[in-house]
Structure 1
């Protein structure tokens, strides 16, 4: 369900728009001033914003300017205003609005514009997804890692709530590839994703960080929750051999967790360095299929580089 933020200081107009949007199957958020609109847009991730220009505290123009500068993802804005002069429309569009509708308006026209804007957004989102998705496994790739990590660090700072990451690297993967070939290595990766995906929450972000290395970003999850996932992930990897009817191999894994903010991690750069050190700071020729001397997940965090 698409979520639409409606911003208008005239409560009767706001209520009418909200009612029609809900009847059309949309989820809604509402704000009656510019300051609240900015906070809701940054924290609730709407798919579209309907923005009045004449607002208390912060004007609609300023709201548009700030959101276009601060939102990390594309959120279209339709300005809805009683100002109908050509220069007002041009000013709104130049400020970053994606459409401009003058009051009074027919509700059917507003709904048609909403549908059109959301169609265009879906096309752009689909195009973007192809650039941030791993073609082999279908999960996000490393390019998306930094984008999403920045979003979650910002959200955690604004809301005062921690989030965590789990890192996992397969042991023995490259040695298995040397013996069994590229097709078998790819099958291992697909099976790894299939084993781990059911363990994740809907809000978790699953990323293939490197060849046989994975990261799960867990919004609003503390250290305890991350460590619980790490234990279950290790169990899933080691539960049974990888492969097919022709050949199989048992693999282990290194698993670690980190949380933001924490005593050792106070900003995004430190979080990135920590994750990269865990996944990339070890020898590429790992212990092998049986993962000798594995420790509990909560003790696998490396020292800060």
Structure 2
């Protein structure tokens, strides 16, 4: 019914998977069954409302909906509650209306959460996504990584005590455009990318452990340094450094969402000064966060 109508459908089998995928996939709407193998549909709806308050949820029941059931779903945050068998035309009309409302809300937030020049999240948008991803990882006992990058003008060969041009290059419009294009092209669809400051950008990578975070940092750093310039533009050659922190099980090692950026940023500063440690085998430009 939905796919022939032009919708892309993501199917999950459990409530836990629904909570995890809703945060990572960012759907326009969720159809949620009352009876799930692991969780109660109402409780899942309530958690979705906490994590994604603007996400439309339609509760679906196998039996006729009583007044009490409808009110319970509405209190849990659902936009509607329908019973099988459902009228296909009615369902499609409601999905269309609710999805349009969700997209309007998303566009209204873009001015607050997205950098208009590059289309990447700004600091506020990154913080919001960090809260959502940490909450999902806690529930799923999943891994989560944060990588913070800095781009410096290539003034000299990088060595101990040399950090390139001090990080100012990333503030230049041409460089920001180049960085944004490279990140959009080479990051994974599940990654959240944005500007953490005027001169640093960050990637939140769900389901990524330390080894995966190091590979991600290397891949994106190489992509940015070798990205071709726009026609008619001569941007400076760049040296890209990165710091990262990765948690294998966020439930077992709780972390404040914003602390992820602080830890990865501290590792970035070490990378910029060329201090070598355990990450030296990969090159001093990539550093893992380590507690003092």
Normalising by structure 1, report the TM-score: 0.68
Aligned equivalents of 1:242, 1:30: Cα separation in 2: 41
Q: Which consecutive residues of structure 2, in runs of 5 or more, have no partner in the other structure?
A: 154-163
Q: 1:72 deviation in Å?
A: 3.5
> Residue 227 of structure 1 contacts residue 297 of structure 1 at CA under 8 Å; is this kept in 2?
no
Q: Give the Cα separation in 2 of the matches to 1:54 and 1:292.
A: 55
List alignment gaps of at least 5 residues for structure 1.
1-19
Q: Is 2:117 the counterpart of 1:136? A: yes
Match of 2:19 among 42, 53, 67: 42
2:79 match: 98
- Contact kept, 8 Å, 1:21 with 1:28, in 2: the verdict is no
- Cα offset, 1:144, TM superposition: 1.5
1:261 aligns to 2:248 (yes or no): yes
- Per the TM alignment, residue 215 of structure 1 is displaced from its structure 2 partner at its CA by 0.8
| Offset of residue 152 of structure 1 | 2.4
Q: Using the TM superposition, give the Cα deviation of residue 266 of structure 1 relative to its aligned residue in structure 2, in angstroms.
A: 2.8
Looking at both structures, which has the greater relative contact order when contacts are Cα pairs under 8 Å and sequence separation is at least 6? 2
Query: SS in structure 1 opposite 2:124?
Result: helix
Structure 2 match to 1:229: 216
Q: Distance in 1 between matches of 2:285 and 2:48?
A: 39
Deviations 1:194-241 (A, max 9, x none): 334332122222111111101112222222232223223333444489
Determine the C-alpha separation between the residues in 1 that align with 2:141 and 2:238: 39
User: In structure 2, which of residues 165, 174, 194 is the aligned counterpart of residue 207 of structure 1?
Assistant: 194
Aligned residues: 268
For residue 248 of structure 1, report the CA deviation from its aligned partner.
Answer: 5.2
- Cα pair 2:182 2:227 within 8 Å, conserved: no
| CA distance 1:44–1:300, change in 2 (3 Å) | closer
State the 1:76 CA deviation. Answer: 1.4
Structure of greater Rg: 1
Q: Pick from 76, 83, 100 the counterpart of residue 56 of structure 2.
A: 76
| Alpha-carbon RMSD | 4.1
Does the CA contact (< 8 Å) of 1:278 and 1:301 recur in 2? Answer: yes
Does 1:122 pair with 2:111? Answer: no
Instruction: Give the Cα–Cα distance (whole angstroms) in 2 for the partners of residues 124 and 102 of structure 1.
Output: 27
When normalised by structure 2's length, the TM-score is 0.71
